[in-house]
Structures are given as structure tokens and as C-alpha cells.
Structure 1
Amino acid sequence: MNLAGVAGLFLVKAAVVWALSDVPTNENFIARAQVTATVLGNFVYIDGGRVWQIDPDPVLNGFIFAMNSTISIDLTKTWTSRSVALRTIPKPPEIASRCKGHVWTDTGSNGSFYSWGGYWGVAARERVDETPRLYKFTADGNGGGNWSIVPSEEISPFGVLDTLHPAEAGAFATTSDGVGFVIGGKATPWTEKSRQRLEINGTRAHQMVPGMLSFDIKTKTFHNTSSSPALSGETNEHNAIISAVAHYVPGYGKNGVIVLLGGVASPVDKDVDAKFSEPIGFRNLTFFDPVTKESFWQMTSGEEPESPRTFFCAVGFDAGDGRYDILFFGGQNEERDLYYADAWVLSLPGFVWTRLENIPDEWAPGGRGMHSCVRVGKRQVLIIGGLFKSDRDPVPQGLLLFDHMSGGYGLRYEPNDEPYQSPSNVKAFYEKG
């Protein structure tokens, strides 16, 4: 079974969905993809997405279904991908699991995160309201927690949820001041239930979502703007961004900055299709101030990563001496139907691209896309799930670790390593002045 070829399949019968496991054994695990992930305190939380697994029923064997639980992983202990304890936190029926969604993380107290957008499976869509809902997960500090729907009367301005268009595959980030952003994305009848009527009436129901949505976690206030941050120095309000990555860089300027990486831009008045899309390259990058919303652009140096590139993941590390490194991994080229296995670091303030070690074929046959990643421990990156050109993920439970300071990719998490340092070739760039 080629995972990329069955990416759109879902089990329809809810009874079957609940019979399978969100955390299959290593022997039964095939793959997981399209998850979101965040770190709260000493735990990684993995939410949404889909999981493939072997099932004793020969009819169902190899099928996929939406994740109905949130998974947590303890970061205080050493573990390997083969032996890691994956704790499942069930969701109540009113909290519908979604894929390619967006997470806004609040690190205060024990921590919480908000889930917005993403697309549902068949069974989930039948039980959600037409009015969009904002979901909240509140952690308990011990690897558990609970889900709730944020009451609409607590959200400002009054009635704003009825005016919003939840999407999938937007670029999302959260600032250190607790403001979450989603830029662009794609709205469909599977992200916004009211669009079912458009589909039934023969009206175009799939549409790029222009602009930028922000949510202030402290005040529970949404703010929606009709235009996205201007790309590469040219403002085009008719373009919307999809499948890009947004990353918040603290400490740059008064408010920090958010950088947009990769993705494609398409006219909002066209059906979503690669032929209408323009790749967003990695040479001239768009940054914006999360408070003033002012955009600016910066040319980069070094070898430029290939584009178009969508559905990759990125994390950031404070590299000391006023420097900050953004590491990113893999991704897809949907025009050419291929996955990337390369990895890169963008170092600020030098704005220089440097290649990292490619993901080895043994861990990513033909590349990897639609994965997520988070920073764990003092210097490691946890790459979670993904799709690829083989029949099964060779990485146990889809949990691959990267540490350029201790040999690259592997399956062992170590919480007590020395702090992160930039790769030697990045250090050399700054030493040259």
C-alpha cells in the first residue's frame, strides 16, 4: 500500500473507528500523518491527524482513520522510539478530531493549547455544529489534561465565530505574548460545515482563504484581516497562502518577528489547484511584526532550498550571542509528486542558508512530508509522522529524532544533553565576519 496514494481515505463507520487504536503496537503500526504537536512543560502533546495500522480484519487491513485521542510523551526521561510510553487522552464526542489543523500554545501555568481549523473525517463532520468552534486543551502538568469547547459568549467580538472561515493547511504560530496567528489556508466543506450547502447547490465550495487571523489568548479576542503579509516585497491582496510554515522568532525587534517559509500563493477566486499556484521561494523571505502587522523582506545568502515546497516542518533554537537558528526538514513538491529528504538551517541575523544532513533513506524512503516537529530536550528535534513513497514508516511510531551535535538522526531521546550550538559551518560564517 502506497501511503501517498491512499491519503484521502477514511473509514466511514464510527463503530469501526473506535475499535481501532490511536496507538497501535510497533508490529501493527504503519504510519501517522497530518498531526499537530506542541510542548507544554515536560510533555509533548500530539493531536489530530490520521493513523494507519494493521488490523486482523482482512477487509480493514491497512486502512486509516482520524486520531480520536491526544497523545502525550514524557520529556523528563530517556526513551527510544521503540520503547516510548505513549499516553492517550480521549476526546469527548463533541470535540471532533481534525487533520492539518492549527495550534496556538499558551505556556502559562501548567499550559494549554487551542485548536482551530483543519479538516474532519466523515464521521466527525456529521456530529459538529455549523457554527465554527474553538477547542481548548488544558494540561494537568502530569501528561494528562482535558478538552473543552470555548463558550462563544467568552469570545470577542460578539458573534465573530459566525463570520470566520476555518481552513486547513494555513501557516500558524504563537508569540511569547500569547497571540496566535493563522495565515491563509484552504476552506472546504470538510473544514467549514456550512459549505456543504454550496457543494450541494453546485457552487464552488473549495476556496483559498485570504488574509490573516489572530487570536489573543489572554482576552480571547479574534481579529481578522483581509490581506496577508505582503510576499517578497510585492503586495497582492488577490493572493492567498497555503501550506507554508510560520515561525515566531523572539527577541528580534521590540515585538519579535514571524517569518513565513515556503508554501504556494494562489488567487482566491480560483479553485484550489497547483496550476493556479505560484511557489514561494526561500531567497527573499517575508517577515512581519506581530503587533504592528508591518511586513518587511530580507534577502538570504547561501544555497537556496528547492521550491515549491509544502507540508514541511520547522523549529527554532537560541544559538547564543544574539543568534537564532531555524531548522526545517523535508516537505512535498506537489507539482512533481515527490517528497524531500533534505534538511536546512536558516541562521539569523546573518540570514544565511546552510544544508544539514539529509534524512537517511532508512528513515525516510524517498523523502517525507505532512509531518510535524517540535523542539525537545536541550537540543533535539522530534519529527513526528509523515507520508512517503513506501508502504510503511520504517520509524517506530513515526517518532524520529535529530541532533546535529551527536550524529544526526536516530531513535533515542536524551533529556540531559548539553545545550544547543549552531553547526560548525554556521559558526564559521560568523567568524569570517
Structure 2
Amino acid sequence: MSRTFADPVRDTCSLTGHAGLVIGDVMYIQGGRMIYSGFEGFAQNPYLRVLNLTGVVRAQDIPDNIITLTDDRQPFAWNVSAQDTRSPMFWLDETGRKAYLALGAEVDVGNATYIPERNYNPGRRGKMWTADLLDGGILSNWVETDIRIGNRNPNLIGTGANWFDRQSRTGYAWGGTYIDGAEIDSTVNQLITFNASTGVWTNDTTPFTESVSGFMEGIILDDRPVLITGLGVTNDQEGVMDTMRVYDTRSKQWYSQRTNGQLPPNRFWTGCSTIVPAQDQSSYQIIYFGGANSSVTFGDVWSLSIPSFTWTQLAENVESSVSAGPRYAPTCDLMKDHYLVVVGGNHVERAYTYAFPQCDRNSNLAWFFDLNLLEWTSQVNGGTADTYRVPAPVYSAIGGGAEGGATLTQPPGGFDQNALATVFAPFAARATQSPTGTSGGGTGGGTPGSPESSSGSSISGGAIGGIVVGAIAIIALIGVGIWFFLRRRRQQPRDLVTPLPPPPPTSTNGAAQPDKGYIGYASVNHETAELQAPPHHVALRPELHGDSAVYNAELPGSTPNDYRRDVYEAPSGNNAPLLQEAPM
């Protein structure tokens, strides 16, 4: 079956490798590649989609609430020649009133004839796109501009493990994948940082041999971002749920921390995540959905509570008319304070990873999980959003209640590295503060330590004398405590900033490692495939969104390991440069 061109609304089937950007009640969806219904194989996805949740939206009406921009119509002024890459950085700088669309891996498209040629731009080295943020959350006036790292043109690196801090106006991207024109992809060992206030991009090496995407979320602690990453493939550990990585942007040190609670099944093929704070910020929940391993695709929802690093299951795999179902390579975003919005991904039949995706036709590309009700919902309500409430299964594990008040301020067995106790110290300090100035029977929802009104009653002279004596005693106790702390610290060995990672999982049959790659659909090449999927499909690398395809090369200029995208092979001697010199 074939038509002249694929219709971007009617013929949607499976969208992967895209990125989402939320502004208020509007989400922008860009990049990635699409399987079009009635067309063979992957094709490019050069459109900008806009999901509007400003009013009441029913699940069956999703197509009517997604605008697919195929031209420069107002007010969006979408440039149809903008790049179409996989897992780009799609960030919003509210202070600078700009959106940034940068990097992303090259889209492998053998079917460019499905889309009008004028819409096909696989991305250019040393270039990115910006848009103006207008009133009402409108992104408009898309233009191409330069990007340099170390005065060089960075290559096209894609990773879903990226996060932008709107307070410090700084973006971070961990690991990623470089893909050359022959579909040879290479893992990168790096942390890219973008300072939107100066326009400067930098790159730092990480202590990991590889970091094949996964997820990244951030928390602001003591006026600086602390990054938390996990899953994907790190140091050859494939999608393990029992270890997270933490990056302190102030000290520029990486740490590892074991998780606790009921561990989800391991998965290294692309799920997706978002993060939401308790009302009093006594805890944060990283919400994780979906993903796949070599045989099973998941449709469950989990919460990883910070700072205790406690896993809690929020929903099991659900197949219904309103659930996202088992899928990998979607995006996850938080909207209206308590809705997990899942967009795209490959929805596979019977949760079997190698099955061909079931089509999300007619732009039915979004699903909603209500974090307050812990269920997939058929309707998103308009008007003022309900406040997020910590789910009962979560606060049963970490203490407190729906509004916050978490009492577990570290993992049950303590942090694996002493320095992490300092990184996450603001949580412990917050937990020891008593709320003041509450009224009307409030239960600790006020701001701790808030100043009292100057019109309050005065304190007597006797009380002042008692306060002075008490203060002297407290100072003496503090001095003794410091002495004991320093003495104990001198007696203890200093812990490593980044400890040796646990050994990678061993194969049950002593054979080759499981396939790491990005999942796709192609004929098996029997001459090169090490690990065969069912005879009609081959396991390709997971989609680069939040994905598990990252590689060993730095920006700028190191030598990456090379992999074939259709099969996983040992690194070869062919090293693809990740940078090309900027023109002088």
C-alpha cells in the first residue's frame, strides 16, 4: 500500500525519539521519527505538534487537541526547514524568553519520499534552532543559529537524559549517541552543559566508561542543581534499578547510590521520567513509566522518592482504552501539577518487545495518568489544577502524608558515600525545623522559620535572661559536638568520590551479552547478527529518547567506540570523529 505522501495526522502509527516541552497547559512535541500507517519502515517527522490542555480534554478527543504544524501559520511561525533529529535537547529559558532545539542524533531515513523534500533536515553540525517565547506560551519565529563547544562544531549527539534548570538558566545532557551516515553509532562519555545567560556550551568527561542514556532529573538544593540519573546502560550495567548516579553541580563530583524498596524489573530500553515535589518539598518523586528489556515491554508506573532513594510501584501494567499500555521510547511530562502525560512510543502487542508496534492512528498520541488518583484517566479537567498529593503508597514508605512531611531523609541504611549526606543535607534540615505561625488547625503546611509579625506581644526581661543562658549552653554543646565530629572524621577513611561500580550482570548461559541496542524493525542480517531476534525482526538500538544508546567519546575530540545499529557488536577499529573543526 502506498500513497504519494504520508499524512502527518491520518497516517500516524508509531512516534519515537521525539522531545516534549511544556509551557503552562501547552506541550510542544518535536523531532524523532515516525512509522506511518500504510508505509514501510521509518520516515522523518519534520513537524511541530502542539498539545493543548487548557480546557477539559477527553481521551477520545486527543486528535482534536493536537495541532500538527506543517507550515509557518501564525502565531507559531514554525520553520518547516528546522532540524529533525532523534532525542534533541528541547529547552525553555523563561527569563530569556527563548526556546532552544539543539543537537539530537541523525535520523536514519531511507524513505525520504514519504515526506515532501523541503521538510527534510536531518540536522547540521554546529547549528541549533531558537524560538521566541510570546505571551500565552506561544513559541514563534524559529531561526537557525550557531553552536560551539570549545570553538568547534559539535556533532549531532542525541540523549533523552537531559534536563534544564529554569532558575539558573542552565541545561545539562548526560551521555548520548552519535550516528554517522552509515548508521554506525558510538557511545559518548560526557556531560554537556549549556549556560543560556552567556550562550556558552561546555563539556566534561564523566567517570563512567559509557552512559547509554537512561533518564536525568534535577533538584535545586542550597541554590544549586543536583542531578540524578539512572537506567540506560552505564559501565555495561544494563538498566539496573538498584543504583542511581548523582552529580553535584557545585563540586562537580559524581556519586553512586543504591536504591531501596520494591525494585522494578530491570529495563534498559527507553522508558521515560518526570519529577514532582511534595507540597512542602520534603521529598521529590521521580515518576518512571514503561521501557523494555530483551523480552518484555512494560506499561507500569513507578516512583523513586528522593532523598531516600525508595522505589514504590504506583500502577501495574494496564491494557485499557485509556491507558498507554506497554510501550518503550515515549516521552513523559508533568502537566497541571498532577498529570503524567505520556506521548508516543512503540506500543507492542502482548508486551512482547520484538513485536511490531500497534498503530496510534489519527494522532492519538497522548495518554494521562492521574498521580493523585493513581489511575489512567479518560479526561483531563480544565480550570485551576489540583495540587499534587504524595500518593499513599509513597508516604507509607517515606513517612509524612499527602501534603509532605517526609521523615525518611536518607536511605534506610544511610548514604553509600558520606559526601551524599552533605549534598542532601537540606532535606534533613527541613525535617528538623518546626512550622511556625500556623493557624486554623493547619498541619505543618507553613514555611518553617517564617518571621513573626512585628505587632506580636513583647518578651519579658526574665524571658530574655533565660534565653541568654540557654543560648550559652547551646553554644557550648555545639562546640563539643564539633570536636567529636572532627575527631571521628580523622579516625575514618575518606570515601571515594566515585566508588568502583558493582560488577555488571553476568549472562545466564555464559554466552554473549544481551543486545543493547535500539529497537527497530528490519530484516535480520545473518552474516553480522550476534544475537538473533525472531527471524523476521532484529533488535536495533533502543530509541534515543531517554534511551539506552550512549557512547564513549567526548566533545570535543576523542575516539568513540563504534557499534552497528542493527546488531550489537564488539567495538571495532573504525573511529568516527565526533567533532568537525569550526570554519576559521
| Shorter-chain TM-score range | 0.7 to 0.9
Which letter maps to 2:304? L
Pick the aligned partner of 1:50 from 13, 33, 46.
33
Which letter maps to 2:171? G
Pick the aligned partner of 2:165 from 175, 185, 191.
175
Residue 242 (structure 1) shift: 1.1
Pick the aligned partner of 1:303 from 238, 262, 267.
262
Q: Structure 1 residues 106, 279: CA separation in 2 closer, same or farther (over 3 Å shift)?
A: same
For residues 93-132 of structure 1, the aligned pairs below 5 Å read 94-108=81-95, 111-122=98-109, 123=112, 131-132=125-126
Pick the aligned partner of 1:427 from 391, 395, 401.
395
Q: Which whole-Å CA distance do the structure 1 matches of 2:98 and 2:324 have between them?
A: 36
Which letter maps to 1:261? G
- Asked if the contact 2:319–2:325 (Cα under 8 Å) also holds between the matched residues in 1, the reply is yes
Q: Structure 1 residues 294, 365: CA separation in 2 closer, same or farther (over 3 Å shift)?
A: closer
For residues 111-190 of structure 1, the aligned pairs below 5 Å read 111-122=98-109, 123=112, 131-142=125-136, 143-151=138-146, 157=150, 159-161=151-153, 164-169=154-159, 171-176=161-166, 177-190=168-181
Greater Rg over alpha carbons, structure: 2
Residue 374 (structure 1) shift: 0.7
Q: Percent identity?
A: 18
Alignment partner of 1:218 is 2:188: no
Q: CA RMSD in A?
A: 3.0
Residue 349 (structure 1) shift: 2.3
- Asked if the contact 1:304–1:353 (Cα under 8 Å) also holds between the matched residues in 2, the reply is yes
Q: Which whole-Å CA distance do the structure 2 matches of 1:408 and 1:366 have between them?
A: 12
Residue 64 (structure 1) shift: 4.4
The Cα offsets for residues 29-58 of structure 1, whole Å up to 9 and x where unpaired, read as 433222110112331101112334445xxx
Pick the aligned partner of 1:30 from 13, 17, 32.
13
- Asked if the contact 1:113–1:138 (Cα under 8 Å) also holds between the matched residues in 2, the reply is no
- 5+ residue gaps, structure 1, are 2-10, 191-195, 200-204, 229-234, 267-276
Of 74-83 and 310-319, deviating more is 74-83
Residue 128 (structure 1) shift: 5.8
Q: Which whole-Å CA distance do the structure 2 matches of 1:311 and 1:420 have between them?
A: 26
Which letter maps to 2:88? G
- Asked if the contact 1:97–1:120 (Cα under 8 Å) also holds between the matched residues in 2, the reply is yes
Q: Which whole-Å CA distance do the structure 2 matches of 1:310 and 1:63 have between them?
A: 20
Alignment partner of 1:376 is 2:335: yes
- 5+ residue gaps, structure 2, are 72-77, 350-356, 401-406, 408-584
Q: Which whole-Å CA distance do the structure 2 matches of 1:290 and 1:208 have between them?
A: 23
Alignment partner of 1:392 is 2:363: no
Residue 393 (structure 1) shift: 4.2
Secondary structure of the 1:341 match is coil
Aligned position for 2:284: 324
- Asked if the contact 2:90–2:99 (Cα under 8 Å) also holds between the matched residues in 1, the reply is no
Q: Structure 1 residues 66, 291: CA separation in 2 closer, same or farther (over 3 Å shift)?
A: farther
Of 118-127 and 288-297, deviating more is 118-127
Pick the aligned partner of 2:380 from 378, 400, 413.
413
Which letter maps to 1:134? M
Alignment partner of 1:263 is 2:232: yes
Kindly tell me the number of residue pairs found equivalent between the two proteins: 372
Q: Structure 1 residues 46, 129: CA separation in 2 closer, same or farther (over 3 Å shift)?
A: closer
Aligned position for 2:300: 342
Aligned position for 2:79: 92
Aligned position for 2:46: 68
Aligned position for 1:274: none
Alignment partner of 1:41 is 2:24: yes
Q: Structure 1 residues 115, 426: CA separation in 2 closer, same or farther (over 3 Å shift)?
A: same
The Cα offsets for residues 259-300 of structure 1, whole Å up to 9 and x where unpaired, read as 00101035xxxxxxxxxx432522232111234322223332
Q: Structure 1 residues 351, 133: CA separation in 2 closer, same or farther (over 3 Å shift)?
A: same
Q: Structure 1 residues 420, 365: CA separation in 2 closer, same or farther (over 3 Å shift)?
A: closer
Residue 220 (structure 1) shift: 1.0
Higher strand share: 1
- Asked if the contact 1:245–1:263 (Cα under 8 Å) also holds between the matched residues in 2, the reply is yes
Residue 93 (structure 1) shift: 5.1
Aligned position for 1:243: 213
Q: Which whole-Å CA distance do the structure 2 matches of 1:108 and 1:310 have between them?
A: 35
Of 323-332 and 143-152, deviating more is 143-152
Aligned position for 1:404: 371
